[in-house]
Structure 1
Amino acid sequence: MDIVRCLQTFCAVVETSSFTAAAERMYLTQPSVSTHIHDLEKKYGTILLNRKRDGITPTDSGKLLYDYAKKILKLTSETADAINEVNQLKRGEVEIGASTVPGTYILPDVLLRFKKNYPGINLSMRIGDTSEIIQDVFEQNVEFGIVGEKVRKSGLTFHKLIRDHIIFVANPSMKKSQIELAELKKVPLVFRESSSGTRMVVLEKLAKKGITKKDLTIVMELGSTEAVKQGAIAGLGATFVSERTIKNELNQKLLKKILIKDLVIERNFWIVTHSVGGFSRAGLTLFDFIKKTYPENK
C-alpha cells in the first residue's frame, strides 16, 4: 500500500464528498478510490467515511485522520522540495577543517567565491593545527580538511593541492640578509607549537641537513602564525613562516627576509579526506571547487 497515495485519495474524497469527483481529481478509476479507502480502513481498523445518499462525510475517526493526513501530505511535499533543493545545490551545509595557514590566508577568498556561486549552502570552517584537523577528518567531524603536512594514518587519503614556500624572517634590526646554515644554530628563534605542520616541515628539512631541534636556540614556542610573526616583529627572535602569510609585514618593513645558504624549504598543502568518503553533495561540490581553483603545484 502506498500510504501517501491513499491519504491523498482519502483527502480528495472528504473534500469533494464524492468518490466520483475524487477519482477525477486523482486521475483514478472509482474502484481504485474505493480500494484506497478500504486499505486505510483496514490499516486503522475503523470506518473512516459515512456513505449517505446526499454525499459522503467523514466519521469522527475520519475527521481525525483528515487533519493528520493534511499535515503528513504537507510535510511530504516540503520534504520532496527540500531534497530537490539539496540535489540542485540550492541548500545544504558543509563543515570543513583547515590548519592555520590555509584556513587564515588561502581559503577565505575561495569560500567567498564558492558562496557567491552557491548562496544557499551554509559553510563553516574549523581552524586548528595540522594534527587536530587530521584527527577531525579521521573522526569524520568535518567533511575534509586542508593541512600543511602529509602524515601516514590508516583510513585517510591525502590529495595534493598547492605548493608553498617557507621562508626565514626576522626583525629588520638583524643586520645580515643572508647567513650560513651553521649560523642558524646561534640565532634566537620563535617557533610554532609541536603539532604545527609548518614546524614539522622545517624540522624535517633541517634534520636532512644534519641540524636537530636540540641544536637550535628556541627562545619561545607560540600557537599560531600571527603569534610567531608578532614575536619576530617584537624582536624576540627570528622565525620560519609560509611566504603566503608574510607579504604585508615585508611590504611594511616590519620584518625582513633572511636567506639561509643551501636551505630551501618547500611543501605542499594537502586536502585530507576520509577513505570511506562520506561527502554530502554540497561537500563534494566544494571539494571539486577548491581543487579546480588551485591546480596541483600552482
Structure 2
Amino acid sequence: MNLKQLEAFVRVAETKSFSAAAKQLYLTQPTVSAHIASLERELNTCLLVRNTKGVALSESGKELYAYAEQMLELEQKIRDRFGLTGKQSGSVLRIAASTIPSQYLLPDIMAQFRREYPEEQLKLFETDSEGVVEMIRSHKADVGFTGTVIEKGNCTYIPFYQDELVILTPATEQFKARKDADAASWFPEEPVILREEGSGTRKEALRLLEQMGIDISALNVAAVMENQETIKRSVSSGMGISILSALAAREEISSGRLLAFPLGETGGKRNINMVFDAGYPSLPAAEKFIKTVKHIYL
C-alpha cells in the first residue's frame, strides 16, 4: 500500500468516476484501476461498487476513505510546512466552528486574518460544538470554536468572548406582562424548543436552567431543532419558547418581533472558546490565526 494508491482511491470515491479521477491525477484510467485493484487485493476486500450512477463506496470502502483522507491531508501538511508544494500560496487552514462563532464572530476574524496574511487560505466547517471537538480530536480541523467545553482527548480551550443566552418568547401581551416576573416562576409551564443534542447552546442553556432551580427533566419539550432561523420563526408563530444567543436574535429583539428575558439574576453568560490539540503538530497558519484571535479579543 502506498500514497499513490490511496490518492487514486480517494479521488474515485469523491468523483464517483474512474475516468474523472484519472483526469484529476493526470493518469490513465487503467493505471487508476490498477491502483484500486492492488488495494483491494492487499486488504482482501471490495472497496468500490459499480452501479448505474457510477461508483459507490462499499462499507469497507467508507472505512478506508476516512483513514486515507486523513493520510493525504497529513502528507499535504508536511509538504506545505517544508515548502515542497512548489506553490507561492500558503497552506489551507481548516477551521471548525459551532453556529454562533461561525455566523457572528468568525467573519470579522477571518477578514482581519486575511488582511494580515493574504497568502493563507481558509476552509470553514460549520457544525455543532460536539462535532467541532471531534474534528479537532481526529485532526480534520486545525482550529475550532465552540460555545461550551467538552472534556475529550487533549483539547486545549481558550475562552475569548463572552456571549449571553436569553429566553426568547413571542411578542404577545401574555409575555409582555411577565417583564418583571422571575423567569423561573413561569418557564417550566411553557412548551420549549431546544437545540440539537450536540449543541453548545443547548448544553449551556440546560446548565443555566438548573442553576435557576428548574427541573430540566420535567421540561415540556415541544421540538428539537438544529437551525436557529427555524427556531426563531417557530417561537414567533407561538409554537413554544426557546433559549438562544442574544447575538443570533438581536435583529428580532430590536425590531420587537421577539421578546428576550434574562436567564437568572446574573444573566445567561457563557464563554465562546477557541479549541485546538496542543499535543499535535500545528501549521504555522494555525499559530497565526490563534494570534489574530488573541489580538482582537484578549
**If the TM-score is normalised by the length of the shorter chain, which range does it land in?**
0.5 to 0.7
Counterpart AA for 2:269: E
- TM-score, length basis structure 2: 0.66
Structure 1: which 4+ aligned runs deviate by more than 3 Å?
Answer: 84-87, 259-263
User: CA, structure 1 residues 208+257, in 2 after alignment: closer, same or farther (shift >3 Å)?
Assistant: closer
Give aligned pairs, total. Answer: 215
Alignment-derived partner of residue 152 in structure 1: 151
Alignment-derived partner of residue 164 in structure 1: 163
Find the aligned partners of 1:225 and 1:269 in 2 and give their Cα distance.
17
Q: Is the Cα–Cα contact under 8 Å of residues 94 and 121 in structure 1 kept in the other structure? A: yes
Alignment-derived partner of residue 283 in structure 1: 286
Find the aligned partners of 1:191 and 1:257 in 2 and give their Cα distance.
16
User: CA, structure 1 residues 214+122, in 2 after alignment: closer, same or farther (shift >3 Å)?
Assistant: same
Please give the residue correspondences for 1:240-251 in structure 2 after superposition, counting only pairs within 5 Å. 240-251=243-254
Is 2:267 the counterpart of 1:268? no
Q: Is the Cα–Cα contact under 8 Å of residues 190 and 220 in structure 2 kept in the other structure? A: yes
Q: Is the Cα–Cα contact under 8 Å of residues 170 and 259 in structure 2 kept in the other structure? A: yes
Q: Is the Cα–Cα contact under 8 Å of residues 178 and 260 in structure 1 kept in the other structure? A: no
CA drift at 1:225: 2.3
Which blocks of at least 5 consecutive residues in structure 1 are unaligned?
Answer: 1-78
Alignment-derived partner of residue 127 in structure 1: 126
Q: Is the Cα–Cα contact under 8 Å of residues 156 and 275 in structure 2 kept in the other structure? A: yes
Alignment-derived partner of residue 83 in structure 2: 83
> Which region of structure 1 is more displaced relative to structure 2, 171-180 or 240-249?
171-180
Post-superposition Cα deviations, 1:127-149, rounded to whole Å, max 9, x if no partner, equal 10110110100101000100011
Alignment-derived partner of residue 232 in structure 1: 235
CA drift at 1:85: 10
Alignment-derived partner of residue 206 in structure 1: 209
CA drift at 1:271: 0.9
- The secondary structure found in structure 1 opposite 2:198 is coil
Question: Identical aligned pairs, as a percentage?
Answer: 21
Find the aligned partners of 2:123 and 2:264 in 1 and give their Cα distance.
42
User: CA, structure 1 residues 119+86, in 2 after alignment: closer, same or farther (shift >3 Å)?
Assistant: farther
Which one has a bigger Cα radius of gyration?
1
> Which region of structure 1 is more displaced relative to structure 2, 258-267 or 129-138?
258-267
Q: Is the Cα–Cα contact under 8 Å of residues 188 and 236 in structure 1 kept in the other structure? A: yes
Post-superposition Cα deviations, 1:6-27, rounded to whole Å, max 9, x if no partner, equal xxxxxxxxxxxxxxxxxxxxxx
User: CA, structure 1 residues 190+286, in 2 after alignment: closer, same or farther (shift >3 Å)?
Assistant: same
Alignment-derived partner of residue 258 in structure 1: 261
> Which region of structure 1 is more displaced relative to structure 2, 207-216 or 136-145?
207-216
Find the aligned partners of 1:219 and 1:277 in 2 and give their Cα distance.
42
Find the aligned partners of 1:84 and 1:293 in 2 and give their Cα distance.
32
Alignment-derived partner of residue 8 in structure 1: none
